Homo-oligomer: A and B are copies of this chain.
Amino acid sequence: MTEDTEVRGSGWLSSDQLEGAREALPIVYVDVVPVRVDHTGTITHVGLLLRARPDGSISRAVVSGRVLYRERLRDALLRHIEKDLGPMAIPRLPTSPVPFTVAEYFPDPSVTGFHDPRQHAVSLAYVVPIDGEANVSGSALDLAWVTPEEATGPDVVFEMTGGQDRLVRLALAASGRLP
C-alpha cells in the first residue's frame, strides 16, 4: 500500500498529521484485484503490480490506497485504479458496495496475517474487471497479467508480502476461480 502525501488545505492532513493519525486510528483503505474476464464474466487473468518496498526489496501487489476525507468508496476505487493502471484502463466497478473480503492490516503480522508495518488499516477489497488498456503508472514498476493458476502458484506467491498472496486467493475464491 503506497500513497502520496496530501496537503490540500483545510480538512486535509499534513504528512506529520497523517503520521500521528496512523498511530491512533484505524485507517480506511480499499484494495482492488484487477482482472480480465471473458464474455461470460469468468476471470482469465489477474493483474499484479511490481512495486519497490520501503526496505528496497521488490514485491508483487494489487491496487491499493487510502480513502480520503469526504471521498466516496467508489470514487476512491476509481482514483486508485487510474493512479496505478493509467487513464486508458476502463474499470467495471461492481454495482454492490459489499467487498469480497475485509482485510485487516496490523503492524503486528500475527493478528490476522495481513501486515502493514506503518499502520492499522481496514481495507475493503473488490474484484474489478478492467477493459481498455492498462499501463503501469504511478509508483509501480511493472504490471503483469497472470492466470489464476499462476497467481496462486509458488513463483508468484513468493514475490508477495504482507498477505497480498492470500488476498488474491480470497478474490479468486469469491469468484469461484480458486484452483
- A interface size (C-beta, 8 A): 60
Number of copies: 4
Q: Which residues of B contact A109 (CB under 8 A)?
A: none
Main secondary structure on A side of the interface with B: loop
Q: Is A112's beta carbon under 8 Å from chain B?
A: yes
Chain A interfacial positions (CB closer than 8 Å to B): 11-13, 17, 21, 23-28, 35, 37, 39-43, 67-75, 78, 92-102, 104, 106-108, 111-112, 120, 122, 124, 127, 129, 166, 169-170, 173-179
- Residue in B26, B72, B179 whose CB lies within 8 Å of A112: B72
Please measure, in the bound complex, the distance between the C-alpha atom of A17 and the C-alpha atom of B97, giving whole angstroms.
30
Q: Which residues of B contact A124 (CB under 8 A)?
A: 102, 122, 124
